[in-house]
Amino acid sequence: MQEIKEKLLQAIEAAKSAKSADALEKVRIDFLGRKGMITTLAKNVDFSKMSVEEKKSFGSRLNELKNLATESLAAANAAIQESAPRRKANDLDLTAPGKGRRFGALHPITLAQMELEDIFQGMGFSVLYGPEVESEYFCFEALNIPHDHPARDMQDTFWLKNQLILRTHTSANQVRTLKRFGAPIRAIFPGRCFRYESVDPSHENTFYQCEGLVVDKDISVANLIAVMRTILSQVFRRDVKVRLRPGYFPFVEPGFELDLNCLLCGGKGCPTCGDGWIELIPCGLIHPEVLRHGGIDPREYSGFAFGVGLTRLAMMKYGVKDIRYLNCGDLRVNEQFSTLL
């Protein structure tokens, strides 16, 4: 026992004089480690000659000494930490490489929408947003599509249990807006629409449109074409050629499909456009019945309406070949657009 006590006291002394954390750790291993001096000495004690009482008191003495030694080691360690040189506040290395920071990015449809809003606002249009959950009245009836009208079949609709629907087009905002603000008015309504579509590279059940309308005195097809050309030239940053074809929508008369002369092939024809033209904006002069639903007298006012396929526009502008990328939720889609901010 005496020998063990001496060794432990030696260990305490050694701990006090250790100058570094490494030296201290060496002291700990030498004295208290699994194969250290204390363990070795204790192993060599001949317990068979001791009484139970003696064994007990030996054990507790040994533990006391070990605790004492462990405490001294901890105290010595704290002292070493305390005296270690500290980094000073102005010890700053300006040449050290910084930590990379990831920037978020806007979705390509959001970018296209923001750009359209900017351009239209520059032309005096208000930007309004209507509800995505809509009544049958605003989505169909007010737009001259009664219950039994075959045009309902053009838009496969999600019906909710409470008789409301997920809007199939942003045209649902036309009569809402006319009722609320009257004429004259210039406004666009960008937003999300839903149709019960089977999904493929060019069809999604969830997509974006940007509807717009102008109602004023003496509005004609010439105004419609002029506004559409101006918008598209600004979106694509060059002069664009457009053409109008007849198109049928019950809420416009006459109704058109406005095609864009393909920007990829210059109108010669390519795999993307086929014959040199890309169908982009359905439009037309607002049907008198729709104006009446909006509380506007068609003998006094006329107007045009259009529905830009916002998702399609984003796909063309940014070269996205499959519509399904846009809703897939994979951040790698967005990340490619971070430099555009």
Cα–Cα separations (whole angstroms), residue 77 to 7, 23, 82: 20, 10, 9
Residue with smaller CB distance to ligand PHE, 15 or 252: 252
In the numeric block, the tokens 């629907």 are attached to 165
* Residue nearer to ligand PHE on the CB measure, 108 or 250: 250
Span of 20-28, 45-53, 223-231, 278-286 interacting with ligand PHE by CB under 6 A: 278-286
Q: Does 287 bind ligand PHE (CB under 6 A)?
A: no
Tell the smallest beta-carbon distance from residue 202 to ligand PHE (Å): 14
Out of 252, 280, 315, 320, point to the residue binding ligand PHE (CB under 6 A). 252
The nearer residue to ligand PHE, 71 or 200, going by C-beta atoms, is 200
Contact 295, 182 (CB under 8 A): yes
Beta strand pairing call for 185-194 and 126-127: parallel
Q: Interaction with ligand PHE in 211-230: which residues (CB under 6 A)?
A: 211
Out of 125, 208, 249, 301, which residue is the one contacting ligand PHE (CB under 6 A)? Answer: 249
Nearest-approach distance from CB 204 to ligand PHE, in angstroms: 13
With CB atoms as reference, the residue minimizing the distance to ligand PHE is 307
The closest of 148, 167, 150, 151 to 159, measured between CA atoms, is: 167
Q: In what order do the strands lie in the sheet with 185-194?
A: 126-127, 185-194, 206-216, 302-309, 277-286, 252-261, 242-246
Q: Is 171 in the site for ligand PHE (CB under 6 A)?
A: yes
For residue 270 the two structure tokens come to 């390519």
User: Does 284 engage in binding with ligand PHE (CB under 6 A)?
Assistant: yes
Selected range binding ligand PHE among 31-39, 200-208, 223-231, 247-255, rule: CB under 6 A: 247-255
Taking the least distance from each CB to ligand PHE, the nearer of 31 and 249 is 249
Judged by beta carbon, residue 125 or residue 249, the one nearer ligand PHE is: 249
With binding defined as CB under 6 A, does residue 302 bind ligand PHE? no
Closer by beta carbon to ligand PHE, 138 or else 306 = 306
Among 28, 112, 306, 312, binds ligand PHE (CB under 6 A): 306
Distance from the first to the final alpha carbon of the chain: 78
SS3 13: helix
Binding status of residue 305 toward ligand PHE by CB under 6 A: yes
Alpha helix segments (H runs only) across 135-220: 136-139, 173-181
Rounded distance, CA 294 to CA 179, Å? 5
Question: What residues contact residue 33 under an 8 Å CB cut-off, 6+ apart?
Answer: 39
As to burial, measured by CB atoms within 10 angstroms (0-12 exposed, 13-18 middle, 19+ buried), residue 273 is buried
Binding site for ligand PHE (CB under 6 A): 169, 171, 211, 249, 252, 255, 282-284, 305-307
